[in-house]
Amino acid sequence: MLKEKIFIVEDEENILDLIEFTLFKENYRVKRFTSGEEILETLNKEQDIPELILLDIMLPGVDGYEVCKIIKANDRLKDIPIIMLTAKGEEVDIVSGLEIGADDYIIKPFSSRVLTARIKALLRRQNVSLSNEADVICINDLVIHPGRHKVTLMDKNVDLTFSEFRLLQLLAQKRGWVYTRFQIVDALRGTDYPVTERAIDVQVVGLRKKLGSHGNLIETVRGVGYRFKEI
Going from N- to C-terminal start, the domains of the chain cover 5-131, 137-228
pTM for this model (two decimals): 0.62
Rounded-to-integer distance, Cα 229 and Cα 69, Å = 31
Cα 3 to its chain centre, rounded Å, is 21
Which residue in 59, 64, 71, 98 sits closest to 188, CA to CA? 98
Same fold across 5-131 and 137-228: no
What is the residue-level pLDDT of the chain in tens, covering all 231 positions? 568 899 999 999 999 999 999 999 999 999 999 999 999 999 998 777 899 999 999 999 999 999 999 998 888 898 899 999 988 766 777 777 777 888 888 888 889 998 999 898 888 776 655 444 457 888 888 999 887 778 999 989 999 887 788 899 999 988 999 998 878 877 776 545 555 667 788 889 999 999 998 999 999 998 889 999 987
CATH number of 137-228: 1.10.10.10
Amino acid at 74: N
Rounded-to-integer distance, Cα 163 and Cα 68, Å = 13
Find all residues with CB under 8 Å of 156, minimum gap 6, and list them.
Answer: none
SS3 state of residue 51:
coil
Q: Hey, what CATH class is 5-131 in?
A: alpha beta
